[in-house]
Structure 1
Amino acid sequence: MSIYNLKYLLNPKSVVLIGASNRASSIGAVLVQNLLSSGYAGPIMLINPQYEPIDAKQCYPDVASLPTIPELAVIATTPASVLALITELGMRGTKAVIIISAGFDTLDEPYAKAMQKAIIDVAQQYNIRIIGPNCLGILLPQIGLNASFSPIKPAKGKLAFVSQSGAVLISVLDWAASRNIGFSHLVSLGNMADVDFGDMLDYLANDKHTSAIFLYIEDITSARKFMSAARLAARVKPVLVLKAGRYSDDTQTAVSHTGKLVSEDAIYDAVFCRAGILRIFSLEEMFEALETLSIAKPPRGNRMAILTNGRGLGVLTADALIDQGGQLASLSSETIEKLNQVLPPIWSHRNPVDIIGDATGDRYSSAIQILNQDSNIDAILVLNCPTTIASSVNAAYAVVNNVSRNQKTLLLASWVGEQAVNDARAIFIKHKIPFYETPEQAVTAFMSLVNYRHRQKMLMETPQSIPEDFSIDTNKSRTLIEQVLLEDRYWLTDSESKQLLTAYDIPVVMTTVVHTVKQAMNNAALLGVPVVLKIISPDIHLSDVAGVALNLMGPESVREAAEEMLKKIKESQPQAQLMGFSIEPMLESRHAYELFIGMIEDANFGPVIAFGHGGRAVDVINDKAIGLPPMNMHFARDIISRTKVYKLLKGYHGFPSANLDAIAVTLIKVSQLVIDNPEIAELDINPLRVNASGVVTLGARVKIKKTSEVTVNRLAIRPYPKEMEELIPLGDGRTLLLRPILPEDEPALLAGFANLTPEEVRFRFFAPSQVMSHVTAARFTQIDYDREMALVLTSLGVPGKATIYGVVRIIADADNNSAEYAVIVSHEMTGMGLGILLMRRIIDYAKSRGIKEIYGDILAENQTMLRLCKVFGFKVKGDPEDFTIKKVTLNLVD
């Protein structure tokens, strides 16, 4: 449902409380007090048949007797009564409900789930949105509504906090109140029977009163919706998440290397990274980020100047900064010269800037002004340790007086101590200056903002085109998987796994399957080189029974190794099914690295891909990074760079670097293999040997399952819809390709924009600009196929290098009811019917996605586009606020 009817939850015009009470300390009584004292301007109605007035406020016996239809209902009654109340509210016309009622979790689990499902089923019949059950409620300071049993009234602000835990929400609220930090929304989601994190992110992303979003998450219920909403929200404002439950024993029973290495928490890490939201790991870290984002914007970079009246304090802070990946700003010679003129001769003459223990407020002020002018500095952290020589209060005022609205350099403060600095801290609270009890906390807050900005920049980078063209044989992969399933097997052998990889053009070592020891000996003799021998069994993990023998020289060595394997299997796993041996040449390992690539399917987020240091000790080394399919070169290179082995792969001490592009392409191929074949449940490529020339798979293991699931539905991110590609023959003999846009198309899009005439630019963008920024181009090309689509007409060629002649796009609202469209065709291709073609295809696509209406704005003088709209039956109306614009709409339902 997403944001459908959320306005009645988060901006209601009237409220009713069901379960109102005057019994002291009861939830019903606290809710009454909070509602009536919060300053909410709309009607507040109370329901409880046992009372007449409560606090001089009339109390109604039931929903039917209410004088007006409440937009929002707050229910604080027994779980057994909730279903009937939802029905009554739905019949009356209420569109939003908060179920405070707890107790659902204490009921018999099947009964509780059935009751909760029945409540949601009825709510959906009446288009009612529900928060809860088992929640604290919501607090909306912007409209003065406290529909919760929180004992604390929040200040108005621009931070939103959404929490699964009411206890965490109250703790954050209490801490923020002591620092005068305000909020736009505080929402306790409880059991998330309906409204969840995805819904809230969609709503808050477009809320003008919210500048940053904080989440406390215990679990995510709808992975695809969360990913889509998080990716959108994180592009427009900072989103930070505190995820609880980092440790579990979910990997203990895993069979594959990937299953053992990839924990649930590691998957959440990968999800947050791909979405562009920043993960924090403690309430303390959350408090620090709240402190900073309530006042400041993310800094330009990670270069910090430390201004202190104590050398030791400055050095400790510098250590903390470098430990967390920050950089001590290099002071320019001009800055040092200016500081020389206002500071004592014995000042540090470097960063940290130690202005000596007797530093007055004036000295602090002069130093801040000078540092603020240095373009090498992204943030200034001002430190003060109390002394009897100089006033900490005066130093605090020096910071306050040097903060301006247009200040580009982030200014942070940490007055270290307790009683001696209380007055200074009060000054910072009053004047809304980010302050921290310790320098380390200040550094952590600063680096959180730096990491957020870095992540956003990384996600907006243009991926390079895939450096090699590879072919995929889907028939080969489908035939192999179906044959193994027909045999009622679920583990592919090493040889079968390699065959599957070759269907996706993943290099593998030449492997021969034999059934007897004698055949293995003969094959080794034919190869005439050192060989590798492996046992073949669907029931055995090779490393568990020494099922791999390396560097065997000649038939006799092969015989001894094979007999030893059979002996060990007979002793340890006598019931194991033996299918023979595989034999392959032993590849030279000089100047080569052993890596692993794996895949496992998560119950929430679907397939995830792991990469890291490989070999026999892969589980012990535990060096891995995780990503989500689909992948491109950018995401593949990012995964590689997040491992420890990456430093080795870049080369060291004369050791040549590995072919990083070949590794990245292999990750992309594995990603596509997983996307195309939903039967794949687990996959190990180990080792993947890589050197400067390329990669080759030495060992592989794949587990499959029977499934009827549509491939695209199991992925957390909708992949590129290749099925929409279409060759378009032109009358002049040329052929164009119509396809969805890709991130790799950014260079071609920029080139196409530069080729537009000024009039074409003005008609499309309502402005005469001849320059498209990288940020704009990235947003146009890096789209979420779940909520928007852009089709491009290109020449035949590699994305990014092929010429783009036309683009049509739609962007659907979060409810998928309506979508805004835009279309442009280059003047070089006019008169060929391409505009009609693009419009027809995007309309067909919108209908296939269930979108009910598409709309757009067109300049009144753009007669060509208006005629095109009339061809397709758009309704055309003037814009009442701007006579130069025509508004066009097309109903797709009739």
Structure 2
Amino acid sequence: MTIRNLDALFQPGSIALVGASRRAGSLGAVLARNLFAGGFQGPIMPVHPNSDAIEGVLAYPSVEALPQTPDLAVIATPPDSVAGLLKAFGDRGTRAAVVITAGFGEGGDGAGAARKQAILDAAQPNLLRIVGPNCLGMMVPGLGINASFSHIAPLPGDLAFVTQSGAMVTAMLDWATPRGIGFSKIVSLGDKADVDFGDLLDYLAMDGRTRAILLYVESIAHARKFLSAARIAARNKPVIVVKGGRHAEGAAAAASHTGALAGADAVYDAVFARAGLLRVYSLNELFDAAETLTNLSVQRRRADGGGRLAILTNGGGLGVLATDALIDEGGRLAALSPETKQALDACLPATWSGANPVDIIGDAPGARYRAALEALLKEPSADAVLVMHCPTAIASATEAAEAVVETLAARAGRVRPVFTAWVGDQAVGEARALFAREGIAGYDTPEEAVQGFMHLERYRRNQALLLRVPRPEPEGEEPDRPAVRGLLDQALAEQREWLSEAEAKAVLQAYGIPVVATRVVADPEAAGAAAAEIGGPVALKILSRDITHKSDMGGVALDLQGAAAVTEAAEAMNRRIAAAAPTALLEGFTVQAMCRRPDAEELILGVVDDPQFGPVMLFGQGGTAVEVIADKALALPPLDTVLAEAMMAETRVYRLLQGYRDRPPAAVDEIAACLVRLSQLIIDMPEIGEVDINPLLADAEGVIALDARVRVTPRGLSTTGAPAAATARLAIRPYPRELERSFALPDGTAVFLRPLRPSDAPALRETFRRLDAEDVRMRFLMPLDEISDDLLARLTQLDYDREMALAAFAPSGGGQGDNGQADKGQEGLGVVRLAADPDNRKAEFAIVVRSDMKRRGLGRALMKAILDYAEARGTGQVWGSVLAGNTAMLALCKEFGFSLVHAEAGVVHVTRDLAAVPE
């Protein structure tokens, strides 16, 4: 379940309260006082077996005795009574409940866990939704609902706050209320037995009363559900998150470099970034970021920001502080162009700073602020402007603020983000109030203003990845999946946890990741012979499934020349390891030619299984000191080239890969390709639990893996007893290869049908261009000359759990390319889309067929394909909107059993029931 019946939680017509008390200071008394004093306009009905009235309101002895069915029940009774109450409310028709009571398995208590299951069993037959248990409650200030035991009542507003911790609600209200910050909804989730973050993100994403969503997260139980909901919500409004428990221990005994580096908090960073959320680290930051991202002046931001700030100030010291803060936060000063400097020279005193920060001197009047700001707003290298003021005896802070307001008003809709910091107290109060009234981002200090700018930059970067349009993937050979499957099956049959080095490299090679040739030998003499055959210097490594880090045990020797040296080194290696690890099984040695790449950077690529989010990918600076350097970035699969390069760009080593001094740039495209191929390996082979490629050498010539480790683990069965789906462990559903198929139209035209990919954006645009004007109007219900980049991204960035678009292509050159993609030369013929609601009860469909492909049976084939898909995923009803003049589509809908209902404005609503609504 997701948003089913959540309307009863947030918009109830009536409320029942069970567990109220007359005892002063008790939880029940506070709960009753808050609920009755909140101003809710509907009936509030107390249930109490021994009291005639609570807070002066008539009480009823039981749920059955209530005069009407409440939409929402609030329960604060002993834990053993809660399941029975939920059953009684559900039988009456109540659709939502807030369970304040604790005692449902917190801390691993067995009896409590049984109670938790009991309340879920009691609620499920009637689809009654539960917030809690063990929560502070929930509030809807705009409706006067305060179903909580908070000591502070919230102000109404347009920020939603969802928290796992009840204490965070009271702390947040204590901070926000004196500052006049109001809320649309506040929910304390508690133990999240039923309603969780994913459910509320789905609901709040479409809530017109909520401008931004604030989250306090400690853990996430349903990774894929959370990510799907968060990505959809983040496309509609800012979602800002504080994560508690950032410093959890647990990686100290990791078996690989990747395992040691992929700490839990770093994984959450990757999750939030992939979902398009902005992560902050304190309550102050949470509200500052919310105000920044929803501010009118910031909403006019450009889409191509790069962290470059222009600073305008009347005090040099403020400029220095702002610059320091900017560099600390990872931003940079915008370089002023000659044209901007010329404009500033013309309007500023000769003593102005002559550079960014632009110091316009302490006596600057409003006119000087206006002229300087106008010049900086035209600076092409600036992504935003920070305007600052410190009070002086000879210049008015209010006059300067008015100049900023007037300048921005004159350029309404054509201005980049502007931040202000009027520093001081009494002298700047009127100016700050003016900025607040006009929707201009205002801060008390330079550091806070810079932080606001960097919040915007990080949010913009995450949003750009959420709506990315990657370039088409290069053509290449399909991975040798059978070869890899054979290696994994053999290791599992032998109950081996780790593949040998040679096997691990064979796995990588099968997926197109270049590896250095490696020979496996049984003894020192064979190692010497292999070195003689290879010729030149070689690397010798011990082969043992029991040794995790070979170099730590003296199991690696480099730059060995000749058979005798290799044989002697191998014998010495055997003696060292026998002494250091006498129980280790020594299986022989690997011998490989030394790879001479003096200008190469050592990188690490890896994958590790996170207990909450499944496979997580790692990229960073490699080598033996990888944990000490700790220069890494994490990301969730699946990856494409855009995501891979964005992941790489988070590291310090990425700057080295761009080239420096006499060292040419490395082949960044090939590194990104390795990450994409590694991502595909993890998607295809669920038995692979961990991968460590260290080092991967990268220079201008390309990339090559010198060492690799692969851990395998048997995967269990699904609840039906069948093998678990290969992609079930992934937090983001990958491209569904199983939906690819080929068929022929009645006239013999070959068609390759597959799910749409982000890299299909250019093909989709070309398909649109080959629609005539009338077909465009019929499909989009309005005239449309061109698909905007934003719309194109939204049409191709699919969450395959919620949306599906099947695209028909005319194959050219023989089918798919690398990673199951269509060949580069394929032409788009048409697309059918399906977008389901969060509960999968209803899904909207739409079909577009290229104008020159009409009346050839393609529309019929696309309709059948999407209906088959909808039925297979258990969708209850498929619906669509068709213009009354689109007779061909209406006839097709009738053919497939749709019901047609004529609506206003010449639109026909078509529906087809596929199955009973899932319970």
Relative to the length of structure 1, the TM-score reads: 0.95
What is the match of residue 885 of structure 1?
Answer: 907
The more displaced of 371-380 and 443-452 is 371-380
The code of the aligned residue for 1:705 comes to T
1:857-876 deviation per Cα after TM superposition (whole angstroms, max 9, x unaligned): 00101110011011111001
Deviations for 1:226-282, whole angstroms, at most 9, x for unmatched residues? 111111111121111111111122111111111111101111111111111111122
Give the corresponding residue for 1:528. Answer: 535
SS at match of 1:64: coil
Q: Is the 8 A contact 2:132 2:191 kept in 1?
A: yes
Q: Which residue of 2 aligns with 1:748?
A: 763
Structure 1 range deviating more: 375-384 or 186-195: 375-384
Cα separation, 2, equivalents of 1:800 and 1:234? 32
After superposition, residues 226-625 of structure 1 pair within 5 angstroms as 226-293=226-293, 295-296=295-296, 297-298=298-299, 299-300=301-302, 301=305, 302-328=307-333, 346-348=351-353, 351-359=356-364, 379-390=384-395, 392=397, 404=409, 406=412, 408-418=415-425, 434-541=441-548, 542-625=550-633
How far has the Cα of 1:425 moved from its partner?
A: 5.2
User: Aligned equivalents of 1:590 and 1:315: distance in 2?
Assistant: 41
- Counterpart selection for 1:854 from 866, 874, 878: 878
Q: Which amino acid aligns with 1:752?
A: T
Q: Which residue number corresponds to residue 734 of structure 2?
A: 719
Which residue number corresponds to residue 777 of structure 1? 792
Moved more, 127-136 or 583-592: 583-592
Deviation at 1:764, TM superposition (A): 0.4
| % identical aligned pairs | 50
SS of structure 2 residue aligned to 1:717 = coil
* Structure 2 equivalent of residue 872 of structure 1: 896
Matching residue's letter, 1:659: A
CA distance in 1 between partners of 2:709 and 2:595 (Å) = 19
What's 2:88 paired with? 88
Deviates more, 1:218-227 or 1:526-535: 526-535
Distance 1:875 1:209 in 2: 34
Q: Closer, same or farther in 2 for the Cα pair 1:54/1:397, shift >3 Å?
A: farther
Describe the SS at the equivalent of 1:591.
coil
Confirm or deny: 8 A CA contact 2:275 2:462 kept in the other structure.
no
Q: What is the CA–CA distance in structure 1 between the aligned matches of 2:477 and 2:766, rounded to whole Å?
A: 26
| CA offset digits 1:778-803 (Å, max 9, x no partner) | 11111010001101111225466421
Match of 2:826 among 770, 791, 802: 802
Structure 1 residues 338 and 483, CA gap change in structure 2 (3 angstroms): closer
User: So what's the TM-score if we normalise by structure 2?
Assistant: 0.92
Map Cα deviations across residues 288-337 of structure 1 (whole Å, 9 max, x no partner).
21333454344334554434332211221133234434454566788778
Structure 1 residues 21, 404: closer, same or farther in 2, change over 3 A?
farther
> 2:175 maps to what in 1?
175
Once residues 403 and 136 of structure 1 are traced to their aligned partners in structure 2, the CA distance between those partners, rounded to angstroms, is 44
What SS does the corresponding residue of 1:491 show, helix, strand or coil?
coil
Specify the alignment match of 1:638 in structure 2.
646
The aligned residue for residue 817 of structure 2 is none
Q: Structure 1 residues 347-356 or 189-198, which shifts more?
A: 347-356
Shift of 1:76: 1.7
- Worse-superposed segment, 728-737 or 124-133: 728-737
Shift of 1:456: 1.3
In 2 relative to 1, CA 653–367 (structure 1 residues): closer, same or farther, beyond 3 Å?
closer
What is the aligned partner in structure 2 of residue 823 from structure 1?
847
SS in 1 for 2:64: helix
Specify the code of the residue in structure 1 equivalent to 2:490. Q
In 1, the alpha carbon distance for the partners of 2:337 and 2:662 equals: 36
Give CA deviations for 1:513-571 in whole Å, capped at 9, x if unaligned.
11121111222222222222111111012122121111211111111111111111111
Tell me the alpha carbon deviations over residues 789-842 of structure 1, each in whole angstroms, 9 at most, x when there is no partner: 101111225466421001111000011111000012112222321111111111
Displacement of 1:363 after TM fit? 6.2
Amino acid at match of 1:637: E
Q: Which structure 2 segments of 5+ residues have no match?
A: 717-723, 813-821
Further displaced range: 377-386 or 463-472: 377-386
SS of residue paired to 1:60: coil
Aligned with 1:698 (options 706, 710, 716)? 706
CA offset at residue 213 of structure 1?
1.2
CA distance, structure 2, for counterparts of residue 79 and residue 213 of structure 1: 31
Q: Whole-Å Cα distance in 1 between the matches of residues 362 and 44 of structure 2?
A: 58
Contiguous gaps of at least 5 residues in structure 1: none
**Preserved contact between residue 794 and residue 803 of structure 1 (Cα < 8 Å):** yes
**Distance of 1:341 and 1:634 partners within structure 2:** 43
Instruction: Specify whether residues 53 and 360 from structure 1 end up closer, same or farther in structure 2 by C-alpha distance, changes over 3 A only.
Output: farther
Q: Which moved more, 1:330-339 or 1:608-617?
A: 330-339
Task: Read off the aligned partner of 2:913 and give its amino acid letter.
Answer: N
Task: Check 1:245–1:382 CA distance in 2 against 1; reply closer, same or farther (3 A cut).
Answer: same
Letter paired with 1:52: D
> Partner letter of residue 185 of structure 1?
K
Give 3-state SS (helix, strand or coil) of 1:714's partner.
coil
Q: CA RMSD in A?
A: 2.5
The letter for the 2-side match of 1:891 is D
Instruction: Please tell me whether residue 157 in structure 1 is matched to residue 157 in structure 2.
Output: yes
Say if 2:755 and 2:807, in contact at 8 Å, map to a contact too. yes
Cα distance change of structure 1 residues 521 and 344 upon mapping to structure 2, 3 Å threshold: closer
CA contact (8 A) 1:524 1:558 kept: yes
Q: Residue type of the partner of 1:95?
A: R
Deviates more, 1:155-164 or 1:432-441: 432-441
Distance verdict in 2 for CA 1:346–1:638, change over 3 Å:
closer
Q: Aligned partners of 1:185 and 1:769: how far apart in 2? A: 38
Residue 179 to residue 623, structure 1, CA distance change in 2 (3 Å):
same
Which has the higher mean CA deviation after the structures are superposed, 123-132 or 151-160? 151-160
Which residue pairs with 1:33 in the alignment? Answer: 33
Q: 1:364 offset after TM fit, Å? A: 5.4
Q: Contact 1:745/1:799 (CA < 8 Å) preserved in 2?
A: no
For residues 72 and 327 of structure 2, the distance between their equivalents in structure 1, rounded to whole angstroms, comes to: 50
Q: Does 1:707 align with 2:715?
A: yes
In the alignment, residue 41 of structure 1 is paired with which amino acid?
Q
Q: Deviations over 1:185-217 (max 9, x none)?
A: 111111111111111111111111122111111
- 1:845 corresponding residue in structure 2: 869
Q: 1:445 to 1:726 in 2, by over 3 A?
A: same
- Is 1:146 aligned to 2:146, yes or no? yes
Distance of 1:338 and 1:545 partners within structure 2? 66
Q: Secondary structure at the match of 1:712?
A: coil
Matched residue type, 1:584: Q
- Counterpart in 2 of 1:653? 661
Secondary structure, in 3 states, of the residue corresponding to 2:618? strand
* 8 Å contact from structure 2 (residues 105, 111) kept in 1: no
